[in-house]
Amino acid sequence: TTHTITVEPLGTELQCREDQSILDACLRNGVWLPHACTHGTCGTCKAEVLEGAIDYGDASPYALLESERAEGAALMCVATPREDVVIEGDVEIEEGITMYPVRDFSGTVAVLDEIAPDVRRLVVDLDEPMDFNAGQYVQLNLPDGDDRPYSIANAPHERGRVELHIKRTENGAATAGWVFDRLAVGDVVTLSGPYGKFYFRPDRDKPLLLLGSGTGLAPLVSILKTVMAIEDEDGEWEHEVVMYHGVALENGLYDREWFEQVADERDWFSYRPAVSREECDGRQGRVPALLTEDFPRAGGNVAYICGNPAMVEDTMRALMKARLFPRDIYREDFFDAA
Ligand code: FES
């Protein structure tokens, strides 16, 4: 059974199955509603239901308060329609950015390497090319029917593949039993994407701070590679790009040699390890602390942050103290339930 969803204020009508989330139906029809976790826990996809009955799905009572629900709000990533529905959401239209509809993809595992302790690089050669913006993520389907979000680490011009950086988490359904044990080169995997509003705005025309921790580096690598492609195409890139990688131990600094080589070859790029539990290159500390040391004033930059919620929060705070304001900060909170 499908129902018609009308999305206000656009007035767009689209079809949604009873077993499909309203968010999924919107994204697959190119209607961009805000979203992050896609599992009913963060509240980013909250929208008003103006008309029609829905099933609220597995909405966390912390993400959707009882009082909000009483006033007609629902979480679009878990809500499914029971009849024709009219919603009003924070529909995003951003100038200069093309948002690509979400689609299903299949592909073959081309690379599966251990790049740091408990971190794997998974490269999937896609059967059909995917269009995405640097910084976005895919949902990788697990053998048990569930899925997990992973940021794409390659640049959008490499449309035929996706590179994902996957950390093993204890008891993680995706990682403990599958990516780290059974998955092998040559296997077929399926995924959907692109998702997310954490993407590079090349038009901002300012120096960049790329601030990642752990595998939160992945979308920032996509941004860096996009800048490199712009430089190749235009013959120049005129802004400084400073990338920090936060890890606990130095052996977690995956792809360090590659970043150092990029930094050697280009005077606009610098790579700064932020190792919290041991000294590295004469320094020690998390990203927010080293950032504060290096940038007592950060105004004039555009920052992209990706990591666990605590790292993102602390880094935001460090930037605001250094007088960089939210309009110049983009953030991706990594929900580490792999
Ligand atoms: Fe829906 Fe997080 S609660 S995207």
Whether 63 lines ligand 1, by a CB cut-off of 6 Å, is: yes
Q: State which of 38, 58, 60 you would mutate to test the pocket of ligand 1, scoring each by most atoms of that ligand within 8 A of its C-beta.
A: 38
Segments in the chain below pLDDT 70? 92, 173, 335-338
- Model pLDDT, residue 36: 82
- Model pLDDT, residue 13: 95
Calculate how far, in angstroms, residue 22's C-alpha sits from the geometric centre of ligand 1. 12
Whether 139 lines ligand 1, by a CB cut-off of 6 Å, is: no
Calculate how far, in angstroms, residue 34's C-alpha sits from the geometric centre of ligand 1. 8
Q: Are 57 and 35 in contact (CB under 8 A)?
A: no
Domains, the chain, ordered by start: 2-88 (3.10.20.30), 103-195 (2.40.30.10), 202-333 (3.40.50.80)
Q: Are 318 and 213 in contact (CB under 8 A)?
A: no
- Model pLDDT, residue 335: 62
Whether 44 lines ligand 1, by a CB cut-off of 6 Å, is: yes
**Model pLDDT for residues 19-60, shown as the tens digit of each residue:** 999 999 999 998 889 888 888 998 999 999 999 999 999 999
**Model pLDDT for residues 301-323, shown as the tens digit of each residue:** 999 999 999 999 999 999 999 99
Calculate how far, in angstroms, residue 32's C-alpha sits from the geometric centre of ligand 1. 14
Strands 161-167, 119-126: pairing is antiparallel
Number of residues that this document lists for the chain:
338
- Model pLDDT, residue 130: 97
- Model pLDDT, residue 203: 87
- Model pLDDT, residue 241: 98
- Model pLDDT, residue 301: 97
Beta strands in 9-146 (DSSP E): 12-17, 46-51, 54-55, 73-75, 80-81, 85-88, 103-116, 119-126, 137-141
Q: Chain-centre distance of CA 78, in angstroms?
A: 19
Q: Are 253 and 273 in contact (CB under 8 A)?
A: yes
Whether 36 lines ligand 1, by a CB cut-off of 6 Å, is: yes
| DSSP track, 228-295 | HHHHHHHS---S-EEEEEEESSGGG-TTHHHHHHHHHH-TTEEEEEEESSS-BTTB---HHHHHHHH-
Alpha-carbon span 243 to 100, nearest angstrom: 27
Whether 107 lines ligand 1, by a CB cut-off of 6 Å, is: no
- Token readout for 256 is 């360090």
Q: Chain-centre distance of CA 334, in angstroms?
A: 7
Q: State which of 22, 24, 39 you would mutate to test the pocket of ligand 1, scoring each by most atoms of that ligand within 8 A of its C-beta.
A: 39
- Model pLDDT, residue 155: 97
**ipTM value:** 0.99
